[in-house]
Amino acid sequence: MQRPFLHAATFLGAALLLAPSSAHQFTRLRPPDVRFVPTPESVVEAMLNLARVTSADIVYDLGSGDGRIPIAAATRYGARSVGIEIDPMRIREAEGNLAKAGAGVGDRVRFVNQDLFEANISAATVVTLFLLPRLNLALIPKLKRELRPGARIVSHQFDMGEEWPPEQSQDVNGLMIYLWTIR
């Protein structure tokens, strides 16, 4: 679906994606909130399908780990993607995976070494999560404040509790995914 106009945040997001990589400028911000557990490829695919990702989207993966979700969004759907990760080792791994993804993908994906609670996510049209329940709950105000109406949020394994019930949920080989849309 084409959007009739773009917000300043979209241009900021595009600038972030097109800026030179800061691959060698990592800072240990603080210890990660969760231990890295890779999302299975079948769940990655289901999450991006449930969010209806297209080439018009900007996908932000909060806690992007090895980069598989941003890389898949760019490779399979042509979306621009930003992986936000606090662990510099995971950023290096993600950039290595991005290099292996081949030509045409690297210019659509960017990994940034930031705290997901402090990162500006306002350019996102899709946000993906695989965090613990307490982190999802803590993110609700940020998601509702920074994302524009129509933005979709997909979480692997954990919902947002009774405070914000999902619009849809889906079982993917025994693993749950959840969808919300900003209204």
Ordered by start, the domain boundaries in the chain are: 30-181
Tell me the average pLDDT across 75-92: 96
Tell me the average pLDDT across 94-117: 94
Q: What are phi and psi of 135, to 5 degrees?
A: -75, -40
Burial track 56-81 (b if 16+ CB lie within 10 A, e otherwise): ebbbbbbbbbbbbbbbbbbbebebbb
Would you call 11 exposed, middle or buried from its count of C-beta atoms within 10 A (0-12, 13-18, 19+)? exposed
10 versus 67: the higher-pLDDT residue is 67
Res 62 pLDDT > 90: yes
Confidence of residue 20 (pLDDT cuts 50, 70, 90): very low
Confidence of residue 27 (pLDDT cuts 50, 70, 90): low
Query: What is the rounded distance in angstroms from the CA atom of residue 50 to the CA atom of residue 180?
Result: 10
Answer whether CATH 3.40.50.1360 is correct for domain 30-181: no
pLDDT in tens, 109-120: 999 999 999 999
Q: What is the per-residue pLDDT for 171?
A: 98
54 versus 11: the higher-pLDDT residue is 54
Tell me the average pLDDT across 168-181: 98
User: In whole numbers, what is the pLDDT of the chain averaged over residues?
Assistant: 88
Q: What is the per-residue pLDDT for 34?
A: 76
Q: What is the per-residue pLDDT for 137?
A: 97
pTM of the model: 0.84
